[in-house]
Amino acid sequence: MKKKPFLFDLTYPELQEIVTGFGEQKFRARQVWEQAYRHLAGSFDEMSVIPKKLREELTSGISYSHLNTHTDLHSNDGWTRKILFDLPDKSQVETVLMEYETRWTACISTQAGCALGCTFCATGQGGLQRNITSGEIVEQVMFFDRLLNKKDEKLSNLVFMGMGEPFANYKEVMKAVDTLTNPEGYNFGARRITISTVGLVPQIERFAEEKRQVNLAVSLHAATDELRESMLPINKRYPIEVLLKACKQYVNKTRRRISFEWALIDGVNDTPEQAKELARLLKGILSHVNFIPLNPTRGFKGRESKQKRIEQFQSILDDAGVPNTLRLRRGIDINAGCGQLRQEANKQD
């Protein structure tokens, strides 16, 4: 049996082709597109401006959703909500919604699992299930924005920092970005989107060439190859020097600041030596370092850094003039770190 197309995978011309194939005029496709992306309809049935007969044809011809809620958790402080979704083939993705006073940020998955095996990461510990489609990325955003819409709120930022390495699923991730920023549809500001990579150099170079307005974050986590390799196996393929060369090229080409992410692990990468080496490496790169104490995971012995060491690390960077911010850990009580919920669910299932 032929698989039904999935609405959020479709480009506007593809949707138009299907709708005109039902014998309808082109403007009906525009209405469906606007209902899905501007009015955030949760199904074809909710699109009351569309005639009933067409709604029925759409429902039987196009799949509206690939996400099924498996687990839905709210943190005790009420600031974080995390959902583990089942996809139609039973692979799983996690999406996190975080409230920061007046802003709402969604942390989106770009793969079901991940093949890159970073030692401290629950997703890496579980391996790769499959690449997900652009529509499955987009639907995670729609899901949370529909919920916010009901209380007259909306998403302010999107970070592609959930499960998976976005640049290992480059084509689908960029297609999702194009859909989300489409001015005729959802029209989300590209500058409010951040893509995080662990450092796939050819894709960083490609991304720099495309000169998108989307922000780039690189998970660095260590300032020497020996340490970085022990945490992020990808460093064997793209060592720090090669990675930072690509980052510099990105900044030169796009004139955009790059972020470096650093999960602070007690006694591992929070030493004064690492801080000094990091300051030396980043000298002259238009960048910002974001620190976050590690979210401990089942398969990794490391723990989050102690406050005193964090302060010492930061003061070395401050003295060297490296812009940096300490980020708060969110949703520890609901396993909000990427991949942790799937790890827990699989233990229980």
β-bridge mates for residue 339, sequence order: none
| 247 labelled catalytic | no
Helix (H, G, I), strand (E, B) or coil at 179: helix
The mark string for 51-80 relative to ligand SF4 (x by CB under 6 A, - otherwise) is ------------------------------
Q: Is 175 left (phi over 0), alpha (psi -120 to 50) or beta?
A: alpha
Residue number, 286 or 332, with CB nearest to ligand SF4 = 332
Minimum separation from the CB atom of position 218 to ligand SF4 (A): 11
Neighbours of 21 (CB within 10 A): 10
Q: Is 108 left (phi over 0), alpha (psi -120 to 50) or beta?
A: beta
Residue number, 16 or 197, with CB nearest to ligand SF4 = 197
Active-site residue, selected from the candidate residues 24, 57, 94, 172: 94
Which residues, 6+ apart, have CB-to-CB distance to 44 below 8 Å? 32, 50, 55, 58, 59, 62, 64
Active-site residue, selected from the candidate residues 107, 121, 247, 338: 338
Among 164, 293, 331, 337, binds ligand SF4 (CB under 6 A): 164
Residue 185 and residue 258 in contact, taking contact as beta carbons nearer than 8 Å: no
Options 3-11, 29-37, 157-165, 275-283: segment touching ligand SF4 (CB under 6 A): 157-165
| 57 labelled catalytic | no
**Residues 90 to 129: which contact ligand SF4 by CB under 6 A?**
114, 116-118, 121, 123-124
DSSP assignment string, 152-174: T----EEEE-SSS-GGGGHHHHH
CA nearest neighbour of 138 among 20, 40, 14: 40
Minimum separation from the CB atom of position 121 to ligand SF4 (A): 3
The reply to whether 165 sits near ligand SF4 by the rule CB under 6 A is yes
* Distance in Å from the first CA to the final CA of the chain: 30
The mark string for 167-206 relative to ligand SF4 (x by CB under 6 A, - otherwise) is -------------------------------x--------
Neighbours of 246 (CB within 10 A): 19
Options 33-41, 161-169, 223-231, 328-336: segment touching ligand SF4 (CB under 6 A): 161-169
**Residues 215 to 274: which contact ligand SF4 by CB under 6 A?**
none
Binding site for ligand SF4 (CB under 6 A): 114, 116-118, 121, 123-124, 163-165, 198, 338
Q: Which residues are marked as active site?
A: 94, 338
